């Protein structure tokens, strides 16, 4: 799929103005081998517990993007190298984490796109708590399961409707 978030913003200024297209603030760092990725969102809301991240990434991704509201915690990582490999193997195109990741070299070798606030070597607990496929908020920006996610070097867009043409 060919797109540029800048071009999508230019072509959809009316949707940006009325909130149909939303932009995450420029606080997310890029990881993973894919610099550019897009797909429908599947969401998770959890805090310092990545047990449910594994559970979801074990399912077929079908080209979707897992969007994780980790509460912005910088105290532990919610995604590591093993989960990056699992995401790639099961057809997830990307993961966005409002929190941290670890095993950066391993994640960078995976053919997925990852955006996160930072890297942190401390792992999370694994109790499996959280909410799957509910409406979440990342940095004050709403994400609903099924929304289209577009990420490239310039930023991350969220839209209920597809903004690209194949």
Tell me if 150 sits within 8 A of 125, measured CB to CB: no
The residue ranges of DSSP E strands in 52-154, in sequence order, are 65-69, 77-79, 94-101, 113-119, 131-132, 136-138, 141-143, 148-152
C-alpha dihedral, 147 to 81 to 117 to 46, nearest 10°: 60
Range of the domain at 72: 5-159
Q: Which helix (H) or strand (E) segment is 21 a member of?
A: strand 21-23
Q: Residue 100 and residue 60: Cα distance in Å, rounded?
A: 23
Question: What pTM value is reported for the model?
Answer: 0.96
Whether 154 is in a domain gets the answer yes
Whether 16 is in a domain gets the answer yes
Question: Number of folded domains in the chain?
Answer: 1
Question: 133: domain CATH number?
Answer: 3.50.30.40
Whether 63 is in a domain gets the answer yes
List Cα–Cα distances, 127 to 53, 63, 84, 92, in angstroms: 11, 27, 19, 23
pLDDT in tens, the chain (166 residues): 689 999 999 999 999 999 999 999 999 999 999 999 999 999 999 999 999 999 999 999 999 999 999 999 999 999 999 999 999 999 999 999 999 999 999 999 999 999 999 999 999 998 988 999 999 999 999 999 999 999 999 999 999 999 976 5
Tell me if 20 sits within 8 A of 42, measured CB to CB: no
Looking from the CA of 83 toward its CB, the CA atoms found within 13 Å total 26
Whether 165 is in a domain gets the answer no
Structural tokens at position 166: 């194949």
């Amino acid at each position: 799929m060919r797109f540029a978030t800048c071009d999508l913003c230019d072509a959809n200024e009316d949707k940006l103005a009325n909130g149909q297209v939303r932009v995450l603030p420029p606080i997310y760092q890029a990881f993973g081998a894919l610099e550019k990725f897009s797909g429908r969102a599947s969401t998770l809301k959890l805090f310092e517990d990545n047990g449910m991240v594994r559970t979801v990434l074990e399912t077929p991704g079908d080209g979707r993007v897992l969007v994780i509201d980790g509460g912005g915690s910088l105290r532990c990582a919610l995604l590591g190298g093993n989960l990056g490999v699992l995401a790639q193997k099961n057809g997830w195109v990307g993961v966005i984490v409002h929190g941290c990741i670890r095993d950066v070299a391993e994640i960078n070798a995976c053919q997925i796109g990852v955006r996160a606030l930072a890297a942190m070597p401390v792992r999370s607990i694994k109790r499996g708590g959280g909410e799957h496929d509910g409406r979440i908020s990342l940095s004050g920006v709403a994400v609903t399961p099924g929304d289209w996610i577009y990420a490239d070097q310039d930023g991350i867009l969220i839209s209920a409707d597809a903004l690209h043409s194949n």
